[in-house]
Amino acid sequence: MKPPLPKLRDSHDLPLDGARTAFRSHRTRLSNYDRSRSDDLEKSIIQARQHNLRIAEKSYIERQEHALGLEPEDKPGAGFEP
């Protein structure tokens, strides 16, 4: 008998584990901070961090799909492409 699947899943039926929750909450925190009164240099640093988090999350999702034996979606912008 297969073990039960986690209840928290995304639209592609992948588990929403702690790492993906952390990616999402950190991006939200950065976007809220980006709206604050900061100078252009700080905003560019925040935008670079947000971009790097998006790339890291996409990479994590691809590895998660591979580990679960699912076919990753072939779509433009997947993986390490900026």
Residue 1 within any structural domain of the chain: no
Residue 5 within any structural domain of the chain: no
Give the whole-angstrom CA distance, residue 56 versus residue 51.
Answer: 9
Look at 6 and 51; give whichever has higher pLDDT.
51
| Two tokens, residue 56 | 């890291």
Look at 47 and 8; give whichever has higher pLDDT.
47
Residue 12 within any structural domain of the chain: no
Residue 30 within any structural domain of the chain: yes
Closest CA to 14 of 54, 53, 68, 56: 68
Q: Domains in the chain: how many in total?
A: 1
Which residues constitute the domain of residue 29?
18-68
30-64 pLDDT, tens digit each:
888 877 778 889 889 999 999 999 999 999 989 98
Look at 20 and 79; give whichever has higher pLDDT.
20
Residue 80 within any structural domain of the chain: no
Report pTM.
0.66
Place of tokens 């699947």: 5
With contact defined as beta carbons under 8 Å apart, do 30 and 50 qualify? yes
With contact defined as beta carbons under 8 Å apart, do 79 and 59 qualify? yes
